[in-house]
Structure 1
């Protein structure tokens, strides 16, 4: 409760002036860095190489475009990967910008979901062939169920032990009402499983909240008159602070909404509780949260002269939104698309779509 009170006081002080919500950019410097900033490092390692086995031999596995990553909540050395195998998203994939050309491209015949041992690179399990059309988002809930989005199908799926147990949205039907999506990008669930949040998406500028059975509760979007979300691309929950935060990709910012009051169906200023941005973060593709050390991780894409970078922000109540560090691989990022943090907070993984690889990092302190 003490952290929550401090956060609310901080937000009330820095985010509201004359009744209007606003945000500041937080840039750390050597003159005001504390001990956490000085000793904290993210160290790039070699990209993760995956090894597949058959009856006769072992061989390196060739990834497709890596659209989604999720770390196991039970094993710090286990990673789930959602990739596009032989499928590539190009100008012909969505001829009208919304509808996937399923007649031309069809379903992906190869396995699209991998479970990997991050210490050895060994593929433990793989499945998802003849199931997906354009894979995108992936998350894991507290029971290690997989949640996936397919932007071609305009749908969200929950899988338990490889079996589909819940579907949201109508197959290949785009929409913006309470039962349809338009190219949904990501999905996350509350720790108790009672709430589902969907980032929707490439066509819609909103977050949609459902109960555990898929019943619509409400949606979040920017207040009227404010810059709307432009491709909400990645989503997390910070339950301690009652925040649901989204990577607002093309605006280059992270927007955090108040997820407490389900009775309030209006899109007013009370919904937006914090906005984090930085001059180097021209776009932001993915975010993840370390609840133990109160850190928010983000990765940007290339934009003009700005190269893609990883960012670590503080979400301590007294320094919410302050930049702690930037980081990148030794040979720079190509086109990062998603990131995930191991359950022990010691390893970061970034999935890229060009080149098709998974970057690996050690988190020190």
Structure 2
């Protein structure tokens, strides 16, 4: 077991391990996205093992030297620490990261901004899509309207990015190349909220969350990609 994070993280939310083994984390309190290289993690394994159980924040935050005391320092850190925003440099409570094999990556941003931002491997912004809109009663949101994009999944062989649009209770599929809309997935068993999405071997996996004042339970659902409107059995 390895552990680090003392005087580094404040409220980590999303964790992604890319195909090279690098760790990507979002911190919703810091409004930041961070990448930690697999080589740095491996080279510090003895120290990380000794650090087990000692990751509580012990000192005041030094905004001018955020990662001074971190055993593993990020090779890429995006966002303005503890400063939310919706411009090209800042996030507002980013939730998740999805990384392509060419190094490009997507950030779901997030609890405030309702957008997906695409970057190249150097952390340079390429594009963004998504917006917030509060629909009226019984009004379905448009494909580009997001309400808390909470999780991301890539199907690179299909060229698609899946977004768990949490408060709208649906999965949205976009073309990873340019962010254009592909299709939507809904199911009555999911209910009003969907918290996470994953893709593997032609199947999309989704998990809902607690739905208050409803008989719906927390469940998962599988979609078989080749059968567009068919789903496999629900599991609890």
Query: What range describes the TM-score normalised by the shorter chain of this pair?
Result: 0.7 to 0.9
Question: TM-score of the superposition, structure 2-length normalised?
Answer: 0.77
> Contact between 2:113 and 2:132, CA under 8 Å: does it hold in 1?
no
1: distance between equivalents of 2:174 and 2:29?
Answer: 27
1:175-214 alignment, distance < 5 Å: 175-193=85-103, 195-214=104-123
Tell me by how many angstroms 1:222 deviates: 5.8
- Please state if 1:217 is matched with 2:126: yes
- Please state if 1:324 is matched with 2:232: yes
Give 1:288's aligned residue.
198
Give 1:156's aligned residue.
33
> Contact between 2:113 and 2:131, CA under 8 Å: does it hold in 1?
no
Give 1:311's aligned residue.
221
2: distance between equivalents of 1:321 and 1:213?
Answer: 38
Query: What is the SS of the residue equivalent to 2:13?
Result: strand
Query: What is the SS of the residue equivalent to 1:250?
Result: helix
Tell me by how many angstroms 1:168 deviates: 0.9
Structure with bigger gyration radius: 1
**Structure 1 unaligned runs (5+)?**
1-123, 263-270, 329-365
Q: Which has the higher contact order (CA 8 A, sep 6+)?
A: 1
Give 1:254's aligned residue.
171
Give 1:11's aligned residue.
none
Tell me by how many angstroms 1:320 deviates: 2.5
- Please state if 1:141 is matched with 2:18: yes
- Please state if 1:226 is matched with 2:142: yes
Give 2:54's aligned residue.
none
Question: TM-score of the superposition, structure 1-length normalised?
Answer: 0.50
203-212 vs 238-247, greater mean Cα deviation = 238-247
Tell me by how many angstroms 1:321 deviates: 4.7
Tell me by how many angstroms 1:260 deviates: 2.0
1: distance between equivalents of 2:35 and 2:149?
Answer: 20
- Please state if 1:167 is matched with 2:83: no
- Please state if 1:238 is matched with 2:115: no
Tell me by how many angstroms 1:261 deviates: 3.3
More strand by share: 1
Query: What is the SS of the residue equivalent to 2:101?
Result: coil
